[in-house]
Amino acid sequence: MKLKEYIQTKRIIADGAFGTYYISLYGDGSRAENGAGLSNLPELANIKAPERVIGIHTEYIEAGAQFVRTNTFASNTKSLSADMEKVKENIRAAVMCAKMAAGKVDREIYLAGDIGPIPVEGMLHSDRLTQEYIAIGETLLSQGIDILLFETFPELETILPAVTYLKENHDCTILVHFSVNQFGYSNTGLSAKRLIAEANACPYIDGTGLNCGVGPGHMEKLIRKIAPDDTTFLSVFPNSGYPKYLNNRLTFTDNAEYFTEKMKEIAALDVGIFGGCCGTTPEYIRRIAAGISADHPVRKTETEAEKITVSEHPAYGFMERRVKEPAHKLIAVELVPPLNANDEKLLDAAHILKNAEVDVVTFPDSPSGRTRADSVLMAEKIRLETGLCVMPHICCRDKNAIAIRSTILGASLNHITNFLLLTGDPVPILFRQTTKSVFNFDSVGMMKIVQEMNSDTFTGHPVTYGGAINHNRMNTKAETERIRRKMAAGATFFMTQPIFSAEQADVIRKMKKETGATILVGLMPLVSRKNAVFMKNEMTGIEIPDTVIERYREDMSREEGEACGVQIAREFMAMTDDFADGYYFSFPFNRVHMLKKILK
């Protein structure tokens, strides 16, 4: 009987942790314990010590497990430090071990091909990763495994392309488990409710759940807040508890009795598969198999569970005038925070803008990877001193999910509710030995975090955020798709890189037509030939044709250079008036007094 059919009428008891139990039996590889003294990576035993793998699977099955994961959680090129052919060999050996253990009993055992996150530095998404997940999945399926379990993931997007491909091309059951902390958030900042809701909404995923990250007590509280879709089922695989270091080794307290009691409480909820993660052993599984009825669980009734809809609250912020007056062109002006502690020139510029027709003033977040005054703190100072509507840029180059949530919360408490969310420029090569980028995710991932905060933290008072458009990318189709992804993640407006040609304007016009996005066209009124040449050659993402540079003479006075910049800006405003929802001005050297002449 297929797993999806069986789960409709019966619960299933799964196995417990393989890795931590393996280390408790055979050591961490630091010394020759019990013989081989293998590396502490249990997956290597699939080939080097298969009898150990078969023995652990057998123990769990004899304890009552009917759902068994292959010893392949870390069977990938990074963890094994091997090429894909060696990884496939390891996977085939793992499946053989699991089948041999399952063949020892006269009852149906569901074998699931275990797939864990491939450890990579930086952002979690790439075509290479997708291809490796597909190769791992297809290798498992080729060995007769028809259940694939992606577990301990912080988000769905990382594996969604692989999941989609595998489901469309193979007759298999796909389960996805996420890992969150005791507060219910993954390390990409997404809540358990949202993760489960997104997985439930995916037609390629048959069941979902949570594993690792938390002990059974916190797991029970989290499950109470989650309602499974009628077409899927939940799985729970909590850790035995929280680890501690003893004699430089990671250990878990033996609390099988407490674990079992908490799993019984979870059994009162709508959960289909019960198992264990780090710290659990066959004894834990024996206890829950004896203490939890196999009868189908009763649907939630008097719990805290509530379904969530992944949608956006109406949030306008600085765009409110545009909503009320559709013909109004939004005006945003960028003020670059200082490199030092002297903000006199920036304050002077801000006070000039106070008397101009400006909808919002924006503050970059250390552009070009060079340290500048904090964008949020700078925005707050300008807001207090001038009353202007402000919008700091926030990039994920330097911040993980914890820091980003903290920044957004702090800004909101100080009445800053508009943000431009960016991936961020990389740290210059010269400083990379001492200054490390974070880049746990890109701007789309960061938008999902803020979208989540709008759903559960800023209910009724959501923040407004937008993204950037780089129309100068070679692959404009990919950039257009990123616009759509950002809109799906809650972005309500977009600001482009400065335009300097009719061709660039046409690219943005096409993006506007294909996506319907609210777009503020970037304008940078250059002030001299030297300024124009510098921007052309030194600034990534900005393309300035020679025809623009030639309009600036070497012997121009300051006034003449500014007048030329004003004229060119006015020309591009006229050129884009048919589609632009507004304009995003970036004035060299914060020469914002030019704005009045441009808008005149």
pLDDT digits (tens, 9 = 90+) for 572-593: 999 999 999 999 999 999 999 9
User: Is residue 558 domain-resident?
Assistant: no
Residue reference for tokens 């600001």: 495
pLDDT score, position 35: 42
Burial class, 47, CB count within 10 angstroms (exposed 0-12 / middle 13-18 / buried 19+): middle
The more confident residue out of 40 and 23 is 23
User: Is residue 539 domain-resident?
Assistant: no
pLDDT digits (tens, 9 = 90+) for 161-204: 999 999 999 999 999 999 998 888 888 878 898 899 999 999 99
pLDDT digits (tens, 9 = 90+) for 432-460: 556 677 777 789 989 999 998 998 888 77
Domain that holds residue 460: 330-526+564-599
User: Is residue 540 domain-resident?
Assistant: no
Percent of the chain with pLDDT over 70: 89
Question: Is the full-model pTM beyond 0.85?
Answer: no
Distance CA 574, CA 225 (A): 53
Count of domains observed in the chain = 2
pLDDT digits (tens, 9 = 90+) for 126-151: 889 999 999 999 999 999 999 999 99
Confidence of residue 307 (pLDDT cuts 50, 70, 90): very low
- Does residue 334 share a domain with residue 286? no
Selection from 560, 573, 499 nearest residue 527 by Cα:
560
Selection from 270, 213, 255 nearest residue 237 by Cα:
213
CATH number at residue 580: 3.20.20.220
- Does residue 354 share a domain with residue 266? no
Average pLDDT of the chain?
88
Strand pairing category for 464-469 and 494-498: parallel
- Does residue 350 share a domain with residue 261? no
pLDDT digits (tens, 9 = 90+) for 519-551: 999 999 999 999 999 999 988 789 999 999 999
Are residues 549 and 536 in contact, defined by beta-carbon separation less than 8 angstroms? yes
Confidence of residue 39 (pLDDT cuts 50, 70, 90): low
User: Is residue 593 domain-resident?
Assistant: yes
User: Would the annotation count 277 as a binding residue?
Assistant: yes
pLDDT digits (tens, 9 = 90+) for 231-283: 578 899 999 987 665 555 566 677 899 999 999 999 888 788 999 999 999 99
- Does residue 477 share a domain with residue 575? yes
Are residues 43 and 90 in contact, defined by beta-carbon separation less than 8 angstroms? yes
User: Is residue 500 domain-resident?
Assistant: yes
What is the widest separation between alpha-carbon atoms in the chain? 92
Are residues 194 and 308 in contact, defined by beta-carbon separation less than 8 angstroms? yes
pLDDT for 65 beyond 90: yes
CATH number at residue 102: 3.20.20.330
Last residue of a domain, one of 232, 266, 291: 291
Question: 323-328: which pairs have CB atoms within 8 A and are 24 or more residues apart?
Answer: none
Distance CA 428, CA 370 (A): 8
Distance CA 396, CA 391 (A): 16
pLDDT score, position 296: 56
Distance CA 381, CA 341 (A): 13
The more confident residue out of 6 and 296 is 6
User: Would the annotation count 278 as a binding residue?
Assistant: yes
pLDDT for 5 beyond 90: no
User: Is residue 61 domain-resident?
Assistant: yes
Strand pairing category for 519-523 and 494-498: parallel
Distance CA 468, CA 448 (A): 15
